[in-house]
Amino acid sequence: MLNKKITPQSGIKKIIFIGAELNPLVKVGGLADVMGALPKALLKLDIEPLLILPFYGAINKQLYPSKLVKANLKFPHTKVIFSVYQTLLPKTKIKILLIKNKFFDTQEVYLPASPNRGELKNDAERFAVFAKCAVEAIKVLNLKPDLVHCHDWHTALVPTILDEYSLADKNFANIPTLLTIHNLASQGLSSLELVYQVALNKKLTPALMEDYYDDDKLDQLKIGILSADMINTVSPTYAQEILTKAYGAGLEKYLQRRKKNLKGILNGIDVDFFNPHTDKLIYKKYNINNYQAAKLFNKQALQKELKLAEKNVPIFAIISRLVSQKGLDILSPLWEKFLSYDLQIVILGTGDKKYEAELAILNKKYPKKFRAILKFDATLAQKIYAGADFFLMPSHFEPCGLGQMIAMRYGTLPLVRETGGLKDSVRHKKTGLVFTKYDSKDLEQTWQQALKIFADKKVLAKMIKAAMSQDFSWDKSALEYVKIYKKLIK
Ligand code: ADP
């Protein structure tokens, strides 16, 4: 039965998560990790999470989703027919509802901007339809959540849509909402026509009205910021940073207005999945007591696989989207200089074509010490976390960042810039290296420090042990989320 009866006395709260990505079903970035791991931690805390996700064409059919219901939504020009399927989050009893309709029958999660996409052409429209379908699914399945937890701009219209439903259905009255911002840079912009296309009730929220008079654009994240009961970002530092012009991505004015209802909660990582002691994907498993020999083994095997020179030089790794946000622009002028040292660089990622082209040239020029693999490869990622010595993440801004935490868990010291979640999770010269100013000079100096640390085996061992013994589990963060839920659920 989908609707397990929950008595008020039981204290169990039913929280519906709505988002665009979910690990391990479909992942582009950190959003997927949070959607996959936080519900598992909440389950231990008297919370019953239920997840709603688009049924992308790329989702593995071996999850055997079963069809629950067919429904439709009437818009001024069209009728959107959709089905709701149900499956379980692998190895859990957590239910996932998959919204299936023609707009999501794609291999990609996000579509490249293109003028010829037929009826609904861009992601702003696709996800606005998804938000509407998700709320309609809550209605037709009579789910009665205690709270709806939305994630990023893709679901930022949900609070407004819930309000709209509450006008006609008392089950929707006062459902509290929390919007988690994983990345402020993507906002879901479209023309105001969308309000009409997907029949949003523009009278309902001041956010929508303001958009009308603002600048002729619909900004879904802005609407979410102004209409969710509470907002949080994924690290305390980033929650402060986004109140400023430098980090607010144009929304600082609205965030300042919501300051009292804005919190920062550092993400955890899935410590069961990211565990060098049990990780079947790496060449040799290890723990804090035997990491030395095993990490060396992992390094040699990685070098062999990537056809790098097989010797014990420091490996600096990047596993990331290859975009300026992640520091690719300040790394660019330094590659050749770094490669003049006795070290190796391993990069796994996809992203801006200009960076991919630049790295492809270095691949050819330095085959024995530089290897950029320009694809998404979750298995290779684990092997790199295990086999590298340093993990580069000199981000311009970083809402939380998962890479640095995964790296520390695998005894790979992060070299990061002091921003957002990087500032909140890495301690300079204790668990990694941290530099402040976003420029190549500061980065280079910190890189030199890393080389010195690598040469000093005693300091290196102390730092690796400190990094590996940190608790990045979701349990701590989940407690923080429960505090917010409790505050919102009266
Ligand atoms: P983002 O801003 O992309 O969400 P995060 O550090 O928060 O950055 O999360 C990125 C996640 O995606 C990490 O788990 C990282 O290991 C993974 N990742 C990024 N690029 C790749 C890739 N090319 N192959 C495999 N995993 C990747």
Fold classification of 291-470 (topology level): Rossmann fold (3.40.50)
The alpha carbon of 109 and the centre of ligand 1 are apart by a number of angstroms equal to 15
Rounded average pLDDT over 347-358: 97
pLDDT above 60 for 6: no
CA distance 24 to 334: 35
Cis ω before 145 (30° cut-off from 0):
no
| pLDDT value, residue 195 | 85
User: How far does residue 403's CA lie from ligand 1's centre (Å)?
Assistant: 6
33 lines ligand 1 (CB under 6 A): yes
Nearest CA to 389 among 324, 281, 474, 300? 300
Ligand 1 centroid – CA 356 distance (Å) = 16
- The boundaries of every CATH 3.40.50.2000 domain in the chain are 14-268+475-489, 291-470
Name, in order, each residue with C-beta under 8 angstroms of 384's C-beta and a sequence gap of 6 or more: 302, 317, 319, 346, 348
Whether 347 is in the pocket of ligand 1, judged by its Cβ within 6 Å, is no
Q: What is the pTM of this model?
A: 0.88
Q: Say whether pLDDT at 5 is over 50.
A: no
Q: Name the band, by pLDDT with cuts 50, 70 and 90, for residue 4.
A: very low
Atom of ligand 1 nearest to the CA of 183: 2
- pLDDT value for 76: 87
Distances (CA, A) of 65 to 105, 300, 324: 15, 42, 38
Predicted local confidence at residue 139, as pLDDT: 97
- Decide whether any atom of ligand 1 lies within 6 Å of the 319 Cβ: yes
Q: Say what the pLDDT of residue 488 is.
A: 96
Segment 31-40 shows an average pLDDT of 93
Burial class (CB in 10 A: 0-12, 13-18, 19+), 451: middle
pLDDT of residue 118: 56
* Lowest mean per-residue pLDDT among 26-35, 172-181, 311-320, 442-451: 26-35
Ligand 1 centre to CA of 398 (Å) is: 12
The arithmetic mean of pLDDT across residues 47-63, rounded, is: 91
Q: Does residue 37's CB lie within 6 angstroms of at least one atom of ligand 1?
A: no
Atom nearest to 326 CA in ligand 1: 2
pLDDT at 221 > cutoff 80: yes
**Measured from the CB, is residue 30 less than 6 Å from ligand 1?**
yes
CB atoms near residue 457 (< 10 Å):
10
DSSP 393-438: E--S--SS-SHHHHHHHTT-EEEEESSHHHHHH--BTTTBEEE-SS
Nearest of 416, 411, 462, 414 to residue 435 by alpha carbon: 416
**CA count, 13 A, side-chain hemisphere, 105:** 5
Under CATH, what is the fold of the domain 14-268+475-489? Answer: Rossmann fold (3.40.50)
Distances 106 to 36, 61, 109, 239, 338 between C-alpha atoms, Å: 21, 14, 7, 34, 41
Question: Smallest Cα–Cα separation from 220: which of 228, 54, 76?
Answer: 228
Among 110, 182, 279, 402, which residue has the most ligand 1 atoms within 8 Å of its CB, making it the best to mutate? Answer: 402
For 85, the token pair is 């399927």
At residue 26, the 3 state secondary structure works out as strand
Confidence of residue 8 (pLDDT cuts 50, 70, 90): very low
pLDDT value at residue 193: 84
Lookup: tokens for 125: 């429209």
Of 318, 321, 374, 380, the one to substitute when testing ligand 1's pocket (max ligand atoms within 8 A of C-beta) is 321
Which stretches within 93-233 are classed as H helix?
123-140, 158-166, 193-197, 206-213, 220-227
Q: Which residues contact 308 (CB under 8 A, 6 or more apart)?
A: 302, 344, 346, 368, 369, 371
Tell me: pLDDT of 2 over 90.
no
Q: Is the pLDDT of residue 431 over 60?
A: yes
Distance of CA 21 to the CA centre of its chain: 8
Q: How far is it, in rounded angstroms, from Cα 238 to Cα 54?
A: 28
* pLDDT at residue number 203: 76
Q: What is the pLDDT of residues 446-458, one digit of tens each?
A: 999 999 999 999 9
Ligand 1 geometric centre to CA of 140 (Å): 36
* Alpha carbon 474 to chain centroid, angstroms: 14
What is the token pair recorded at 323? 């975009």
CA atoms within 13 A on the CB side of 276: 28
- Cβ contact 247:397 at 8 Å: yes
Region 483-488: what's the mean pLDDT?
Answer: 95
Q: What is the pLDDT of residues 190-213, one digit of tens each?
A: 888 888 888 888 777 666 666 665
Q: Rg for the chain (alpha carbons), in Å?
A: 23
Residue nearest to atom 12 of ligand 1 (CA): 29
Residue pair 20/154 in contact (Cβ under 8 Å)? The answer is yes
Test site for ligand 1: of 319, 348, 352, most ligand atoms within 8 A of the Cβ: 319
Q: What percent of the chain has pLDDT over 90?
A: 82
Q: Which among 386, 424, 421 has a CA at the least distance from the CA of 406?
A: 386
Share of the chain above pLDDT 70, in %: 94
| Tens-place pLDDT, residues 369-416 | 999 999 999 999 999 999 999 999 999 999 999 999 999 999 999 999
Of 138-142, 199-203, 262-266, 320-324, minimum mean pLDDT range? 199-203
Q: What is the residue with the minimal CA distance to atom 22 of ligand 1?
A: 376
Average pLDDT for 149-168: 96
- Residue 432, pLDDT above cutoff 50: yes
